[in-house]
């Protein structure tokens, strides 16, 4: 049974702004070096290393080694879900202008981004809603793929049925979008859909962060596959 001290220890890991910034950066689903996270959080490399050791020991991050290089990333989809759920419960007030670059970056995140390994922002919500309208996704009777939705992913998009076999992770799950305040598709289906969009060059990453943009090929694909013509 989880004790109060266990819960307090977990909360303490995110109570530091620098550690919270590192965890939010890692929501892009990729592995970062300690130096990259130090620069992102605005702290010294030695300070970043101390923070990362705490996050790894606390089970929120894992370390990956490749040759002489060491990387860290979120420990799994459940950690990403925890961070996104917490973020969605924050009351977001209208931000004051912080300069053109910051405003542009914020706008790009709201338009489209990755939430760990699935699509979020207006793009993620638009795709989810289009799948629901097309009868591929059932949001009324619980967030689940329909039989038509499973066939669409395997027959139309070419995913392997093995990729969508339920296990420790649900096939489909609703994830509350912190900017749109509505649900987008997560779970195995959301991850494979995002992987397909990136692999087909339907969406492309903007810089080194979480923001993504819909490419001309992606606009054509969404129009043909889901009847979506008003997403940017």
Answer yes or no: is pLDDT of 31 > 90.
no
| Co-location of 153 and 217 in the same domain | yes
pLDDT tens track for 47-69 = 999 999 999 999 999 998 877 88
The first and second tokens of residue 120, run together, are: 């979020």
Domain total in the chain: 2
pLDDT tens track for 140-182 = 878 899 999 999 999 999 999 888 887 778 899 888 887 887 8
Predicted structure pTM score? 0.72
| Residue 200 C-alpha from the chain's centroid | 19
Share of the chain above pLDDT 90, in %: 54
Decide if 77 contacts 117 (C-beta within 8 A).
yes
Within 10 angstroms of residue 205's Cβ, the number of other Cβ atoms is 15
Give 193's DSSP letter.
H
Q: Is 19 helix (H, G, I), strand (E, B) or coil?
A: helix
Is 193 part of a structural domain of the chain? yes
| Co-location of 104 and 219 in the same domain | yes
Decide if 31 contacts 72 (C-beta within 8 A).
yes
> Could you tell me the residue range of the domain that residue 26 belongs to?
4-75
């Amino acid at each position: 049974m989880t004790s109060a001290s266990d819960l307090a220890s977990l909360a303490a890991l995110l109570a530091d702004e620098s550690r919270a910034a590192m965890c939010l950066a890692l929501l892009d689903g990729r592995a970062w070096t300690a130096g990259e996270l130090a620069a992102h959080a605005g702290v010294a490399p030695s300070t970043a290393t101390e923070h990362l050791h705490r996050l790894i020991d606390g089970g929120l991050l894992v370390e990956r080694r490749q040759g002489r290089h060491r990387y860290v990333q979120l420990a799994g989809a459940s950690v990403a879900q925890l961070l996104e759920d917490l973020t969605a419960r924050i009351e977001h007030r209208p931000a004051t202008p912080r300069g053109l670059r910051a405003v542009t970056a914020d706008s790009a995140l709201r338009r489209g981004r990755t939430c760990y390994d699935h699509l979020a922002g207006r793009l993620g919500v638009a795709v989810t809603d289009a799948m629901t309208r097309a009868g591929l996704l059932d949001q009324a009777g619980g967030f689940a793929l329909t039989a038509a939705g499973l066939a669409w992913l395997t027959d139309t998009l070419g995913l392997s049925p093995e990729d969508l076999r339920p296990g420790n992770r649900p096939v489909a799950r609703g994830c509350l979008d912190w900017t749109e305040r509505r649900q987008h598709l997560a779970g195995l289906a959301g991850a494979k859909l995002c992987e397909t969009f990136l692999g087909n060059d339907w969406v492309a990453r903007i810089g080194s962060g979480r923001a993504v943009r819909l490419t001309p090929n992606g606009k054509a694909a969404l129009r043909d596959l889901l009847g979506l013509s008003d997403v940017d």
